[in-house]
Amino acid sequence: MDWKKQVRAALEGHHPTIGRSFVFVLFGLIIFSLLSIGIETMPGLPDWARRFLEIADLIVVAAFTVEYILRILTAPKKLRYIFSFWGFVDLIAILPFYLSIGLDLRSLRALRILRMFRLLKMIRYSGAADRIGASFRMVREELIVFGLTSFLTLYFCAIGIYYFEHEVQPDKFSSVFDSMWWSAVTLTTVGYGDSYPITAGGKIFTVLVLFVALGVIAIPTGLVSSALGRVRNEEKPPKE
C-alpha cells in the first residue's frame, strides 16, 4: 500500500494500524472549534482566555490546513475533490482565517461567521453523511418543487398583506419584500408579534391564507423528516 492510500485510509478511519484514531482527533478538534466560537462571544471574558482561544484557533486552522492539503494530494482526481461539496466544506473551514490576515475589524466579522460551517465537517466525520446525502437525493425533486411552492406562497401572502396594511402601518409593511418577513413568521406559526395586521381586511386575509397556506408550508418539512426516517429504516433490520 503506497503512502497516498495509507493517508486516505487514515482520514476515512479504516486504516489497518491507526484505525479511527485520526478521525477521533479531527472530530475532537471540530467540536473544540465549535465550542470556542461560542465561548469567545461571551461578554466579560478575561484576556488570558481570549488569548488562549486565539492560539487554539491557530492550531485548529493549521490542522485543518494540513488535512485539506493531504486530501488534495491523495485524491485520485484532484480537481474533482476541490470542486466537490466536501471540498468546499474543507476549504471554508480554513479560508476565513487566511482571508482575515491584514483586514480591518468590520470585514473580519463577516468572515468569522463562515467558521460556523465547520459544523458540516462534523457531519462528515460522524458517519451520518452518507445517510443524510441519500435522504436528500431521494426527495431532491420534491424538495425543489415544494420549496418553490413555499416561496411563491410567501410572496403571494406578502403582496396581499402589503395592500391591506401598508397605508396604516407603513413602517412595518414598507414594501412587498419587507412584508415577506411577516409571511414567514406567520405561516410557520412562529408569530413573534412584531408585525401583525390591524385592519379588518388584513385580518380576514390572514385567517383565510393561514388555513390554506399552513398545509403548503408543512410539506417540505415533512418530506425531509420522512425521507430521513425511511433511509434509517432501510439500514437496520426491522426489530419487530
89 near its own copies (CB under 8 A): no
228 near its own copies (CB under 8 A): yes
Count of chain residues binding its own copies (CB under 8 A): 69
In the bound complex, what is the minimum distance in angstroms from residue 205's beta carbon to its own copies? 10
Q: Which residues contact 112 (CB under 8 A, 6 or more apart)?
A: 96, 100
The gap from C-alpha 232 to its chain's centroid, in whole angstroms, comes to 21
In the bound complex, what is the minimum distance in angstroms from residue 45's beta carbon to its own copies? 9
152 near its own copies (CB under 8 A): yes
- Cell numbers standing for residue 64: 485543518
Identified binder of its own copies from the candidate list 66, 69, 144, 207, rule CB under 8 A: 207
In the bound complex, what is the minimum distance in angstroms from residue 127's beta carbon to its own copies? 10
Identified binder of its own copies from the candidate list 20, 65, 136, 142, rule CB under 8 A: 142
190 near its own copies (CB under 8 A): yes
Secondary structure (DSSP) of the chain: --HHHHHHHHHHT-BTTTBTHHHHHHHHHHHHHHHHHHHTTSTT--HHHHHHHHHHHHHHHHHHHHHHHHHHHH-SSHHHHHTSHHHHHHHHTTHHHHHHTT--HHHHHHHHGGGGGHHHHHHHHTT-HHHHHHHHHHHHHHHHHHHHHHHHHHHHHHHHHHHHHTTT-TTTSSSHHHHHHHHHHHHTT---SSS---SHHHHHHHHHHHHHHHHHHHHHHHHHHHHHHHHHHHHS----
134 near its own copies (CB under 8 A): no
Site for its own copies in 40-79 (CB under 8 A): 41-43
In the bound complex, what is the minimum distance in angstroms from residue 192's beta carbon to its own copies? 4
185 near its own copies (CB under 8 A): yes
Identified binder of its own copies from the candidate list 158, 165, 169, 172, rule CB under 8 A: 158
What residues line the site for its own copies (CB under 8 A)?
34, 37-38, 41-43, 109-110, 112-113, 116, 119, 122, 128, 138, 142, 145, 147, 150, 152, 154-156, 158-160, 162-163, 166, 174-177, 180-181, 184-186, 188-194, 196, 198, 203, 206-207, 210-212, 214-225, 228-229, 232, 239
